[in-house]
Structure 1
Amino acid sequence: MSEVIATQNLRRTLRIHRLDNVSVALVDLPAGAEVPIEEGGAIITLAEPIPRKHKFTHGALAVGERVTMYGVTVGRATRAIATGGRLTTDNVEHVTDSAQTEARRTDWRAPDVSAFEGRTFEGFHRGDGSVGTANYWLVVPLVFCENRNIEVLRTCINEALGNDPHRHYKRMARALLNGEPMAGLGIGEESVSEDVMETPFPNVDGVRFLTHSLGCGGTREDARALCQLLAGYICHPNVAGATVLSLGCQNAQASLLEEAIATRDPEGTRPVHFFEQQALGDEETLMREALSAIFNGLRQANELTRQPAPLSKLVLGVECGGSDGFSGISANPLVGGVVDRLVALGGSGILSEFPELCGVEHELAARCTSDALATRFRDLMGAYQRHAGAVGADFSMNPSPGNIRDGLITDAMKSAGAARKGGDSPIVDVLDYTEPVTRQGLSLLCTPGNDVESTTAMAGSGANLMLFTTGLGTPTGNPVTPVLKIASNSELARRMFDAIDFDAGPIVEGSSSIDALANALLERCIETASGRYQSCASRLDQQDFIPWKRGVSL
């Protein structure tokens, strides 16, 4: 991926790599338009209209010929395609290069990070040596039977703290019901008559309540995986401690969670309180004891204040969702630039979504720092593909209807662009689902491509900040980790302004470089990690949490 070049006609087209036999339309192009293959290169005539974000061929492709983007195979022609013809699901199918390991890559050149040397962020220092970008108390159910009690606790705690994130919509609903004027009821605008309480815990970012559909009725392996994931959240750098509700008879026993917590936090640096409903008896007793534990935990968490920490304490998870035809040429390489900068500064990154790495396995394996890591990556990919096959699925089914409408017509095409979120630095570790990050540098984490299952997993493995790229738009957030949303195009950034934190559109438009915007985005990361910038997802109270049941999701 280090050979990717930007031979862009600023107005109309982009050829991503010198080996590519297709280009991307940056604007809607009519049939008969004459466009360059690359700057100063040959000019071809389009055989048909090419919508913005879609791809067209540089020359005629016969049935069976391969389609190349980012310098790798992303598909194969199933019908003859004329010069200047549009790639569609009707004429191209998913196919990839061999996944065999290339020679070990040793040519990484770290980006210039002199402007960030010695920089710090203001974080919460934990007893285990990690540093949080936020400070939450966590309330967790061990089984879905406790979800209702969790929701009751959520309502009671938010009301007691004067923290109702949906009060503006409640006012809006009342106004609509009563036919009252809507003026002054926008998001973030407080009613003049409504008192907003001053928080009694100024050093705590809030209480986070997790609900899920697991814990019983599944396999014992499901229960163990759930407890490992919950342990990752309870021991997360952004979490001060936790209150855990258990029914008592479920597969996910409290002892399994306690064991998983002890493995991650052997010194017991975080307080964790367990309450079993079947043992306590009546519901009122359960709720009273849980509420008491939560408020005591908040008082303890409030004693911690933000203090300077080196950027090496940041663990950056990267995700893409609602991707479009520009994601792989603007937002994803931009995020990759931030990952490379952070790694060069001693920090860590997590690249997940294994179905969206299909087709670039050989490049990623070549970046692994040892043969053992490359082998583990291939083994995890192979096991995942077999799991998917067992339930009648395949990685080639990964692109969504929205992806396809915007020109990402094969999984390999989507993967080649998605992998650019991981930058170009060496891969220092390969992790299975729920395993924690323990090495500084870039790690691969086995997760599905499902946005929330993947972000849920990255937080569980220790990501204390996330960058999420999108071309179509998504509100996705996380209960404990700030999620910054990066738009691949400026039109999306304007249209969904309340959900987008950073605009990568100037890269497509040619008005800014990836390097310049990567430095600006890293600055935004520092501001977010320090609590000086609140992500759009956090402002919208978007707290998405979905554990992964293996073999079911792509």
Structure 2
Amino acid sequence: MSASYVQIDPKDNIIVAITPLEKGLKTQVAGKEVVLKEDIKQKHKYALNNFEVGDQIYMYGVLIGKATKPIQEGCAITIDNVKHASAAFQDTKEAYSWSAPDVSKFEGRTFNGYHREDGKVGTANYWLVIPLTFCENRNVDVLEGALSEKLGYQTKKDFAVNTDALIEQYKAGASNDAILNTPIITTKEEMTKNRLFPNVDGIKFLKHDGGCGGIRQDSEVLCQLLAGYIANPNVAGATIFSLGCQNAQISMLQNAIKAIAPNNTKPVHYLEQQQSSSERALIEEAVKHTFLGLVEANKLERKPAPLSKLVLGLECGGSDGFSGISANPALGYASDLLVGLGGSPVLAEFPELNGVEQELINRCKTEEDAKKFSGLMRAYSAAAVAVGSGFENNPSPGNIKDGLITDAMKSAGAAKKGGTSPVVEVLDYAEQVTKPGLNLLCTPGNDVESTTGLVGSGCNVVVFTTGLGTPTGNPVAPVLKMSSNTNLYERMNDIIDINAGTVITGEDTIESMGEKILDHIIKVASGEVPSKAVLHGNNDFIPWKRGVSL
């Protein structure tokens, strides 16, 4: 890209500043000379022509706002002179054709994954410990304390403290100097080497604040989400804690598992505290069942699998003015490559598809899915309005500061993650991915809630684009963070996996960057390269509550 400013689409009447632009600069766009009348910040936009109040403003070729004040050409586009506006959409689709990109570089490629009996393939191998209600979170903590460090799994810190060594020294009558010179710190690397079960990547504890209170539908959806986590190919089995009297009953979870995985053979152990003789007995039983589950899970080894077994979550958060022109379209190209190889990318965050609905409706392969998508979008928008908000309130202060001043502008860039392939199925929250090709999944725009939903619907790896930086991860699926700009990559290299800023500087094209992304996904899916979120233990898990609290 390497230019100092760019028009993204020929229809656009605002121009993006790739570098800071000074007042007085003469710019040439689409055969027209525009002299800047003020400084334009990097990632922000300036007017290509004069706007009167109410005039429509376009970026990415779609309506993203309307002028609230007269704006002269060469002046900055800001929240003070533009308000959110998005195009209307119909429930019916128009004709759409698509040509898959050249996938010859990846034909025959495989990744080494964990093959499950249902035909799915995991990119990791975890055991889950799940409370059905927040009342059981303490017991989950006790189980974590009893198992994680002892079995050589990552703690919430970069190291573990071996206090037992000091106790042994004391009992042996060691001197103070001997105790002071006793090594008691175990690093992550040492813990990994000392794992009792080398083929099990970890035990994940999915604590949450749901399962009771709220409305019954929240507990039903929670059980559907948890069933999706148990069915996820990255999971070997689960230990379930129930209090007994909560809304989210064991039977509700069992029915949810049967609905999405009727032939499930994964071990799931249910423990109900109100039926147990004591808390001590409950914990003892949980530890023993979990230990034996790990013994079985450890028997599974990584084996080659076709790339068609990848279910790729497409996520963004902390977006900036470059996200829609570097990281997101590059991920979109990787998504198209995966579709061409028979895989299943999943585009979520419905509030961030506002303004591009008609394009996605047109891309739906069936009228049924087109109507389902439009219905979900209208219902979501109405629900936001009902509580005194709306999609126009979606951009965060960080988004606005870095150039994304309306929801439609943010959405048009965010939707680029989905590439250009047809939509094979539209899914509501917690519904499962079953078809190869691009899927749309209804989730919030909130980073963690959306990522939680993607993995609950079957994603075995997630790529998360960001322009501002975020440590977000997931307990079950590796989350790869990709920066939209090189400055962010260099500043936060400890949490960013891939740098798409090379698209901005001209070192990469969208296509070459997309190929690099897919290549990195394959390495992570094979266990060759860990994601930064996994290394740091970012196990963020927030189920989406859609109702009021009762």
Q: Is TM-score (shorter-chain normalized) higher than 0.5?
A: yes
Find the aligned partners of 1:196 and 1:504 in 2 and give their Cα distance.
Answer: 31
Aligned to 1:178: none
CA distance in 1, matches of 2:363, 2:192: 52
The farther-off stretch of 157-166 and 309-318 is: 157-166
**C-alpha distance in structure 2 between counterparts of 1:525 and 1:371, whole Å:** 33
- Unaligned residue ranges in structure 2 (runs of 5+): 162-184
**Relative to structure 1, is the Cα distance of residues 118 and 512 closer, same or farther in structure 2, using a 3 angstrom cutoff?**
same
Deviation at 1:160, TM superposition (A): 1.2
Partner of 1:256: 252
Letter matched to residue 18 of structure 1: P
Taking the aligned partners of 2:461 and 2:206, their CA distance within structure 1 comes to 18
Please say if residues 149 and 155 of structure 2, whose CA atoms lie closer than 8 Å, have aligned partners that are also in contact: no
- Structure 2 partner of 1:48: 38
Please state how far the C-alpha of 1:272 moved relative to its aligned partner: 0.2
Q: What are the superposed Cα offsets for residues 485-540 of structure 1, whole Å, 9 maximum, x if unpaired?
A: 01000000000001100000011111211111111111101001111010000000
Q: 1:491 aligns with which of 483, 487, 503?
A: 487
Alpha-carbon distance in 2 for matches of 1:97, 1:390: 21
Of the three residues 144, 151, 175, the one matched with 1:154 is 144
Per-residue CA shift, 1:261-282, capped at 9, x if unaligned?
Answer: 1112212211000000111031
- Alignment partner of 2:3 out of 4, 8, 11: 11
Matched, 1:448 2:448: no
Q: 2:50 aligns with which of 54, 60, 67?
A: 60
Is the CA contact (8 Å cut-off) linking 2:159 and 2:186 kept in structure 1? no
Corresponding residue of 1:517:
513
Moved more, 436-445 or 384-393: 384-393
SS at match of 2:388: coil
Q: Amino acid of the residue matched to residue 348 of structure 2?
A: S
Task: From the superposition, tell whether residues 200 and 70 of structure 1 become closer, same or farther in structure 2 (CA, over 3 Å).
Answer: same
Structure 1 residue 323 corresponds to structure 2 residue 341: no
Retained in 2: the 8 A contact 1:101–1:366? no
SS of the equivalent of 1:123 reads: strand
The verdict on how the C-alpha distance between 1:506 and 1:242 changes in structure 2, with shifts beyond 3 A counting, is same
- CA drift of 1:43 comes to 2.3
CA contact (8 A) 2:159 2:188 kept: no
Range 382-391 or range 419-428, more displaced: 382-391
Mapped to 1, the partners of 2:349 and 2:451 lie a distance apart of 9
Matching of residues 366-377 of structure 1 within 5 Å: 366-377=362-373
Q: 1:266 to 1:387 in 2, by over 3 A?
A: same
Do structure 1's residue 115 and structure 2's residue 97 form an aligned pair? no
Question: Is residue 26–residue 508 contact of structure 1 (8 Å, CA) maintained in 2?
Answer: yes
Q: What is the CA-CA distance between 1:103 and the residue it aligns to?
A: 5.3
CA distance in 2, matches of 1:67, 1:116: 40
Q: What SS does the aligned partner of 1:159 have?
A: coil
Judged with a 3 Å threshold, the aligned counterparts in structure 2 of structure 1 residues 539 and 32 are, in CA distance, closer, same or farther, namely same
Query: What letter is aligned with 2:121?
Result: V
How far, CA to CA, are the matches of 2:401 and 2:14 in structure 1? 18
- Matching of residues 67-106 of structure 1 within 5 Å: 67-100=57-90, 104-106=94-96
* Mapping of residues 241-252 of structure 1, within 5 Å: 241-252=237-248
Contact residue 387 and residue 551 of structure 1 kept, 8 A: no
3-state secondary structure, aligned to 2:495: coil
- State the 1:106 CA deviation: 2.9
**1:270 paired residue number:** 266
Q: Describe the shift of the 1:246–1:190 C-alpha distance in structure 2 as closer, same or farther (beyond 3 A).
A: closer
Residues in 1 aligned to 2:307 and 2:413: alpha-carbon distance in whole angstroms: 27
Could you give the per-residue CA deviations for residues 229-279 of structure 1, whole angstroms, max 9, x where no partner exists? 000001110000000000000000000000111112212211000000111
Q: CA deviation at 1:128?
A: 0.9
The residue type equivalent to 2:63 in the other structure is: T
1:354 alignment partner in structure 2: 350
CA contact (8 A) 1:387 1:550 kept: no
User: Which amino acid counterpart does residue 240 of structure 1 have in structure 2?
Assistant: A
Q: Residue 27 of structure 2 contacts residue 36 of structure 2 at CA under 8 Å; is this kept in 1?
A: yes
Distance in 1, Cα, partners of 2:306 & 2:192: 35
Distance in 2 (alpha carbons) for counterparts of 1:375 and 1:13: 39
Quote the offset at 1:189 in angstroms. Answer: 9.6
Evaluate the alpha carbon distance shift between residue 537 and residue 484 of structure 1 in structure 2; reply closer, same or farther with a 3 A threshold.
Answer: same
For residues 208 and 254 of structure 1, what CA distance do their matches in structure 2 show?
19
> Amino acid of the residue matched to residue 75 of structure 2?
G
Q: 1:532 to 1:191 in 2, by over 3 A?
A: closer
Q: Which amino acid aligns with 1:459?
A: V
* TM-score, normalised by the number of residues in structure 1: 0.92
* Aligned residue identity for 2:528: R
Q: Conserved in 1, the CA contact under 8 Å of 2:158 and 2:536?
A: no
Task: Give distance in 2, aligned partners of 1:330 and 1:534.
Answer: 23
The residue number in structure 2 matching 1:200 is: 196
Cα offsets for 1:67-114 (capped at 9, x unmatched): 100100000000011111111111000111111257534321110001
Q: Give the Å deviation of 1:196.
A: 7.1
- Which of 207, 213, 218 lines up with 1:211 in the alignment? 207
The match for 2:459 among 463, 476, 479 is 463
Q: Verify the 8 A CA contact 2:149 2:160 in the aligned structure 1.
A: no
Are residues 480 and 61 of structure 1, via their aligned partners in 2, closer, same or farther at CA, if it must alter by over 3 Å? same
Q: CA deviation at 1:154?
A: 1.3
Q: Distance in 2 between matches of 1:127 and 1:271?
A: 12
Within the candidate set 228, 232, 235, 2:231 is matched to: 235
Is structure 2 residue 401 aligned with structure 1 residue 411? Answer: no
Change (3 A) 1:55 1:551: farther
Contact 2:154–2:202, Cα closer than 8 Å, also in 1? no
**3-state DSSP of counterpart to 2:238:** strand
Task: With the length of structure 2 as denominator, give the TM-score of the two structures.
Answer: 0.93
Letter in 2 for 1:414: K
Partners of 2:188 and 2:350 in 1: CA distance: 47
Count of matched residue pairs: 525
Aligned amino acid, residue 362 of structure 1: Q
Map of 2:338 onto structure 1: 342
Q: Return the letter of the residue paired with 2:29.
A: I
SS of residue matched to 1:316: strand
The residue number in structure 1 matching 2:390 is 394
**Residue 462 of structure 2: SS of its match in structure 1?**
strand
Report the residue type matching 1:499 in the other structure.
Answer: I
Task: Give 5+ residue unaligned stretches, structure 1.
Answer: 1-7, 172-187
Alignment match of 2:426 (pick from 427, 430, 440): 430
C-alpha distance after superposition, 1:156-184 (max 9, x if no partner): 2112113343444778xxxxxxxxxxxxx
Alignment correspondent of 1:546: 542
Q: Distance in 2 between matches of 1:88 and 1:167?
A: 42
1:37 and 2:33 equivalent?
no
- Name the SS of the counterpart of 2:52 in structure 1: coil
CA distance in 2, matches of 1:190, 1:220: 44
Partner secondary structure for residue 398 of structure 2: helix
Q: CA 1:459/1:82 → structure 2, altered by over 3 Å: closer, same or farther?
A: same
Number of the residue aligned with 1:507: 503
Name the residue aligned to 1:143: 133
**In 2, are the aligned partners of 1:352 and 1:444 still within 8 Å (CA)?**
yes
Q: Which residue of 1 aligns with 2:19?
A: 27
3-state SS of paired residue (2:459)? coil
Cα distance change, pair 189–21 in 1 and its aligned pair in 2 (3 A): farther
What does residue range 170-189 of structure 1 map to in structure 2 within 5 Å? none
Q: Please name the residue that 1:333 is paired with.
A: 329
CA distance in 2, matches of 1:288, 1:500: 40
| Per-residue CA distance 1:192-220 (angstroms, 9 max, x = gap) | 9x887611111111100001010001111
In structure 2, what is the equivalent of residue 535 of structure 1?
531
Contact residue 34 and residue 46 of structure 1 kept, 8 A:
yes
Letter of the structure 2 residue corresponding to residue 403 of structure 1: N
Q: Secondary structure at the match of 1:413?
A: helix
Letter in 2 for 1:110: A
